[in-house]
Copies of this chain bind each other. A is one copy, B any other.
Amino acid sequence: MNAAKHSVAVIGLGSMGMGAARSCIRAGLNTYGVDINAEALQSLSSAGAAGVAADCAEFTAELDSVLLLVVNAEQCRRILFDNGLAENMLPGTAVMVSATMSADDAKDIAGRLAERQLIALDAPVSGGAAKADKGEMTVMASGPEEAFDKLAPVLDAIAVSVYRIGSEIGMGATVKIIHQLLAGVHIAVGAEAMAMAAKAGIPLDMMYEVVTNAAGNSWMFENRMKHVVDGDYSPKSMVDIFVKDMGLVTDVAQSLNFPIHLGSTAYQMFTSASNEGHGKEDDSAVIKIFKGLNLPEKS
Contacts and interface: CB of A to CB of B under 8 A. Distances in A.
A175 B197 contact: yes
Interface in A48-96: none
Interface stretch (A3-11, A22-30, A105-113, A209-217): A209-217
A261 B165 CA distance: 33
Contact of A215 (B163, B181, B183, B192): B183
A188 interface: yes
Contacts of A207: 175, 178
A269 B265 CA distance: 13
Contact of A196 (B178, B192, B197, B202): B178
Interface residues of A, number: 63
* Residues of A contacting B: mostly: helix
A148 to B, nearest CB: 15
A187 to B, nearest CB: 10
Given A185-B189, A192-B262, A262-B266, A215 B178 contact: no
Contacts of A190: 182
A256 B179 contact: no
A134 interface: no
Given A186-B189, A200-B174, A214 B127 contact: yes
A256 to B, nearest CB: 5
A128 interface: yes
A179 to B, nearest CB: 4
Interface string A237-266: 000000000000000110010111111011
Contacts of A103: 200
Number of copies: 2
Contacts of A260: 192, 196
Interface stretch (A13-21, A37-45, A218-226): A218-226
A180 B210 CA distance: 12
Contact of A223 (B175, B200, B213, B215): B215
A201 interface: yes
Given A188-B262, A209-B163, A265-B261, A197 B215 contact: no
A114 interface: no
Interface string A140-169: 100000000000000000000101011000
Contacts of A199: 256, 258
B202 A174 contact: yes
**Lowest 8 A-B CB distances belong to which pairs?**
A218-B218, A182-B216, A179-B216, A185-B189, A183-B216, A189-B262, A174-B200, A199-B258
Given A166-B203, A189-B262, A192-B262, 5 more contacts: A140-B210, A163-B206, A174-B200, A182-B216, A185-B189
